[in-house]
């Protein structure tokens, strides 16, 4: 009997060991980390990683188990972006990780799910990852960390139908009884970004009567679709009724009201007025082609070439000035050079070679060799003055937005979303030409630099003269420049009317932080 009891005890002990082994193996499997994810436990190792990599997303977790929900997804993201981004993991639950998290002032335990994702760019903290935890969103973010979120992530685009695949597109056309206006776009396209808020507003106003849908067709897999619906540029709007394509919509300069009015009475685009060509016979300007360009310039000691487009308004305005200057230069025997022109929309080989991206573009050549690009030459007198004394143009003044600083420059596409993430935001609405704005810029920038390590504080700026930013400024009650407004998690609180020096801007933010600390102190006392 005793022998049987001992045998049963051993069996139960063996079963317990087996259960523990199975649990341990499953636990190890649960926290298994992909070799593409860098597991970091030392502060020096993390600093080295951030110093040697330019695009790093760090997952901080309260415990190893808290990382389970993220590591599988992040492994797939790391695989897709191999060589383009680095993903690291810090377990704040183990002894080394705890010290590291304390030094980095990170507390994932205070977050839902016990995890926090922070992005570092060029060795410095960039932003907290707050977009959806999906493969598509994370890949898009790491490909362009400073870019806007995916269109479908914008809450204001909730009434736009976002189409992912060609199969979904065909299904929509087949099943939808209501008229469909499809916006084929590319994520990087500037005109698309300007049109998206207009499209969103129209989608909301016509909800239930029409379907307004968007589809990113830039990837090569959609080349057949683009050819089928004549998508030659972005955006392209196609109007369908009961699955049948009827018209393109081409009024890109219109607002939401115009788009809604067009949907009520959709008409095909009106034929464009043919452009009047630059008459070569009546002009002293030499008109060049892809074939004649190099040979002509090699024969000329000096030549000023205007790259133009027939539809370009600035080019049309400049043509008579250019013609008149060419006539004067051709009169004398001691002419300092010739003037020539090339239609870069027709003769694309030369235009592409010289990277012509705007019109008109003027370039000065000596003996066939390019010397200068001259954006300031627009009048006959300026052209004549330059040809008689060719000098390198002054370097263009870098805009505030292009100069490195800790100020966050926002636009219509990311203004509200960016401010929602910040506890305290001081926003400067400005115009680049405004003298008072220019005076305030260095002081505002210095204040932003002082608070750059605080992830809950931002000094932001909006150029009200740029694109659709004018609408944002109008909505925010901007009536003069500069206007300073304080926001708390995206909600407007008050106008800032204090001193516009560095001391004023920093003192205002310090007072807000002081109030925060008082509130924390009171809560602790209550507890």
How far apart CA 63 and CA 490 sit, in angstroms, is 32
Cβ-in-10-Å burial (0-12, 13-18, 19+) of 187 comes to middle
pTM: 0.46
Contact by Cβ (8 Å): 440, 501: no
- Catalytic residue, from 92, 101, 192, 473: name it: 192
Active site residue 192: yes
Burial class of residue 372, CB neighbours in 10 A (0-12, 13-18, 19+): middle
**238 among known catalytic residues:** no
From 92, 101, 238, 315, the catalytic residue = 315
The answer to whether 406 touches 458, Cβ cutoff 8 Å, is no
* Spatial contact of 218 and 206, defined as CB atoms under 8 Å apart: no
Cβ(33)–Cβ(87) below 8 Å: no
Beta strands in 17-157 (DSSP E): 37-39, 55-61, 86-91, 115-121, 124-128
Query: What are the distances in angstroms from CA 249 to CA 182, 228, 271, 272?
Result: 10, 16, 13, 14
Q: Is the dihedral of CA 94, 99, 101, 107 positive or negative?
A: positive
Which of 322, 337, 348, 347 minimizes the C-alpha distance to 371?
337
| 434 a catalytic residue | no
Q: What is the Cα–Cα distance from 380 to 383, expressed in whole angstroms?
A: 5
Residue 142, class by beta-carbon neighbours within 10 Å (0-12 exposed, 13-18 middle, 19+ buried)? buried
Helix, strand or coil, per DSSP, at residue 421:
coil
Say whether 189 is catalytic: yes
pLDDT tens for the chain, 527 residues: list them: 445 455 555 565 556 545 544 444 444 444 456 788 999 988 889 989 998 998 999 999 999 888 887 898 999 999 988 888 999 999 998 888 888 998 888 888 888 888 999 999 888 888 889 888 889 889 989 988 877 788 888 888 899 999 999 999 999 999 999 999 999 998 877 778 888 989 999 999 999 999 999 999 988 889 999 999 988 878 899 999 999 999 999 886 678 888 999 999 998 887 655 556 787 677 889 999 999 999 999 999 999 999 998 877 788 889 999 999 999 988 767 889 999 999 988 888 898 889 886 788 999 999 999 999 997 788 999 999 999 999 988 777 788 998 999 999 999 888 989 999 999 999 999 988 788 999 999 999 999 999 999 999 999 999 988 878 888 888 898 888 899 999 999 999 999 999 999 999 999 999 998 887 776 566 656 65
Domains of the chain by start residue, with CATH: 37-143 (3.40.30.10), 152-264 (3.40.30.10), 281-388 (3.40.30.10), 401-522 (3.40.30.10)
């Amino acid at each position: 009997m005793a022998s049987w009891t001992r045998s049963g005890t051993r069996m139960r002990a063996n079963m317990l060991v087996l259960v523990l082994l199975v649990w341990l193996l499953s636990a190890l499997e649960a926290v298994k980390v992909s070799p593409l994810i860098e597991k970091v436990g030392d502060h020096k190792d993390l600093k080295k990683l951030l110093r040697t990599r330019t695009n790093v997303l760090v997952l901080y977790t309260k415990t190893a188990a808290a990382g389970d929900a993220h590591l599988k997804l992040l492994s797939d993201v790391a695989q897709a972006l191999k060589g383009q981004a680095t993903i690291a993991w810090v377990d704040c639950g183990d002894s080394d990780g705890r010290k590291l998290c304390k030094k980095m002032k990170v507390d994932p335990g205070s977050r839902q799910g016990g995890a926090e994702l922070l992005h570092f760019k060029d060795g410095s903290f960039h932003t907290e990852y707050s977009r959806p935890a999906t493969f598509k969103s994370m890949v898009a973010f790491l490909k362009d960390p400073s870019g806007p979120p995916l269109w479908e992530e914008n809450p204001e685009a909730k009434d736009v139908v976002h189409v992912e695949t060609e199969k979904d597109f065909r299904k929509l056309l087949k099943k939808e009884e209501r008229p469909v206006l499809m916006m084929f776009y590319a994520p990087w396209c500037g005109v698309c970004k300007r049109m998206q808020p207009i499209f969103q507003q129209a989608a909301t106003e016509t909800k239930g009567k029409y379907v307004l849908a968007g589809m990113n067709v830039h990837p090569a897999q959609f080349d057949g679709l683009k050819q089928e619906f004549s998508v030659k540029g972005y955006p392209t709007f196609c109007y369908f009724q009961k699955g049948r394509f009827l018209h393109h919509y081409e009024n890109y300069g219109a607002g939401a009201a115009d788009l809604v009015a067009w949907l009520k009475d959709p008409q095909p685009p009106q034929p464009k007025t043919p452009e009047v060509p630059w008459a070569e016979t009546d002009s002293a300007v030499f008109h060049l082609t892809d074939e004649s360009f190099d040979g002509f310039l090699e024969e000329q000691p000096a030549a000023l070439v205007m790259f133009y487009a027939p539809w370009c308004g600035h080019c049309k305005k400049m043509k008579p000035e250019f013609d008149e200057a060419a006539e004067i230069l051709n009169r004398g025997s001691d002419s300092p050079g010739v003037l020539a022109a090339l239609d870069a929309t027709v003769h694309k080989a030369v235009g592409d070679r010289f990277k012509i991206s705007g019109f008109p573009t003027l370039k000065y050549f000596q003996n066939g060799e390019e010397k200068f690009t001259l954006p300031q030459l627009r009048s006959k007198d300026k052209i004549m003055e330059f040809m008689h004394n060719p000098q390198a143009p002054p370097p263009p003044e870098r805009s505030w937005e292009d100069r490195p600083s800790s100020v966050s420059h926002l636009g219509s596409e990311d203004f509200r979303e960016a401010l929602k993430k910040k506890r305290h935001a001081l926003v400067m609405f400005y115009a680049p030409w405004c003298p008072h704005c220019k005076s305030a810029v260095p002081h505002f920038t210095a204040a932003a630099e002082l608070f750059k390590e605080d992830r809950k504080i931002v000094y932001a700026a909006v150029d009200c003269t740029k694109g659709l930013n004018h609408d944002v400024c109008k909505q925010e009650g901007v009536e003069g420049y500069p206007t300073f407004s304080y926001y708390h998690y995206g909600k407007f609180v008050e106008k800032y009317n204090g001193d516009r020096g560095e001391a004023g801007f920093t003192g205002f933010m310090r007072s807000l932080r002081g109030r925060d600390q008082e509130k924390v102190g009171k809560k602790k006392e209550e507890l």
